[in-house]
Amino acid sequence: MTLPPHTQELPLLLVDDNPQNLRLVNYLLRSDGFSVWNADSAEQAIALLKGQRFSLVLMDIQLPGMDGLELTRQIRNTPDWKDLIVVAFTAYAMSSDEERMKEAGCDGYISKPIDTRAFPNRVRSYLGLRSSDSPEIDNSEIALLKAKLLAQVREEVARLLS
């Protein structure tokens, strides 16, 4: 597969149901020059895949309804999409989880929480692209996103404990 030289020509599909993850990843990848499309469910991802060519899918594993592994299996079983790069984007990080992801057809995985400085270059590596010099990232935006994510986690923990 020959890749275009500009990241804008390499649209990425981010499948994640968490709005904070979507916002953070979009910010990081767009700051690095990528074009990013979002889906918050497997069904929405399938609709986007039918209408747009993507170079890579970042796939959350825990999705409402159809999970990310089943969606990955569907991608692998669809002739037009079988060569699409699918990278699990998940908080699951145990070796047995990694094996399940590979068995489903994932080309690799990036664990959450992400290292915001290294993340764009991790994505570039899956595309076979050179690492870029770190773009100028607005640290106040990152701090705001992290604060919102921590507040969300605290609320979820409180809900689970009650």
Predicted model pTM: 0.79
Mean pLDDT of 6-17: 83
Q: How far is Cα 23 from Cα 14, in angstroms, rounded to an integer?
A: 10
Token pair, residue 150, equals: 């921590």
Question: What is the Cα 127 distance to its own chain's centre?
Answer: 13
> Higher-confidence residue: 21 or 47?
47
Sequential DSSP letters for 104-129: HT-SEEEESSP-TTTHHHHHHHHTTP
pLDDT of residue 1: 36
Residues 40-93: pLDDT tens digits?
999 999 999 999 999 999 999 999 999 999 999 999 999 999 999 999 998 876
Cβ contact 59:72 at 8 Å: yes
Which residue carries 């953070």 as its tokens? 24
DSSP structural state of residue 61: S
Which pLDDT does position 136 carry in this prediction? 53
pLDDT, greater one: 128 or 95: 128
Q: What is the pLDDT of residue 4?
A: 41
